[in-house]
Amino acid sequence: MENKKVLLGMSGGVDSSVSALLLKQQGYEVMGITLELYNNDSCCNQNMHQDAKKVCDLLGIQHITYNAKEEFNKYVIDDFINTYAKCQTPNPCIECNKYIKFGVMYEKAKQIGCDYIATGHYAKIEYSKQFNKWVLKKSNSEKKDQSYVLWSIPKHILEHILFPLADFEQKEEIRKLARSHNLEVADKKDSEDICFIPDGNYKKFLENHSNIKPKSGNIVNSQGKILGKHQGLYNYTIGQRKGLGISNKVPLFVLGLNQKKNEVIVGEESELYKKEIIVSDINLLLVDKIDDWLEVEVKTRYSSNLAKAKIRKEQDQIRVVFYEPQRAITKGQSAVFYIGDIVFGGGKII
């Protein structure tokens, strides 16, 4: 008989709570797990555990907590700090998915005899007859789709992952379902911030938890002309317009950061567009290797639109050539490749 035991990551929010409900309705033997990820005694953090346990109690499923602070610190927080230290812009959710939710949690699931892990992500896992393998796909909800932050999942575990919310198109459908089953979290607000920076002030976090401190330098244009002063490169990201503190006839945007010279380089919007990028730390989900130029669509940040491009493997990196120049491509962010609805793979922009 097929093993129907599933370990579900539960954050105490409505998405993971409804995921528990749906999995139970589908006949799975569900166990909820709440991961302790960082030291934060705020009421939000405590409520997260309590809310997850209440839902499990109501649904009659077991709930456990697991201390993953050491791994979270090593793979997510350290990477966040190191990426800013290199004058790049990180996406901590991608590291968390790779190492924690689909790393640590998957190992825990195997230990306790679960054949599957599940999360409340908006994405799909399906068996593709065309490619003769399990694939990661976009969810039905174009607006909520989270496949972009899942490209780094190890591909050998795809067939062991369940995304119960794959077919939902509206958040309100999920809230309605939660209300109809008396789940107290039905109207709980979505968390928008980085989980370990609940106040959203990443600059203060960096100053308090790393060697990154305010250090004054010049703001220059692309010809090297000094236009003003900055108070630390970590305060800026590519494409930023506000908070530059310089006046100019036409709006200026951050084009780049020169760590050696401690300079913020600014320019007009037309200078923000790039036609080529290089990507490293590659994870290919659909194939084992790329032999020649391949046509794909590419997303260069979570909120950006898909853009047509061709990609080619060059040693352990991938060269991406866009058909139309793309705006504000940012080092440290991910470039995720799609063929139709399927995630082909991805990597980090360098």
Q: Among all residues, which ones are annotated catalytic? A: 96, 195
Q: Distance (Å, rounded) from C-alpha 234 to C-alpha 212?
A: 8
The 10 Å CB-count burial string (b at 16+, else e) for 1-28 is eeeeebbbbbbbbbbbbbbbbbbbeeeb
Angle between helices 43-59 and 14-25 (to 10 degrees): 20
DSSP one-letter code for 24: H
Q: Which of 100, 97, 78, 80 is nearest to 88 (CA)?
A: 80
Report the SS3 class of residue 57.
helix
Place of tokens 């317009």: 241
Q: What are the angstrom distances between the C-alpha of 343 and each of 134, 157, 158, 336?
A: 11, 15, 12, 7
Cβ atoms < 10 Å from Cβ of 209: 14
Report the half-sphere exposure of 145 (CA within 13 A, side-chain side). Answer: 23
Q: What letter does residue 224 receive in the DSSP assignment?
A: -
Name the H helices within 164-304.
Answer: 171-180, 202-209
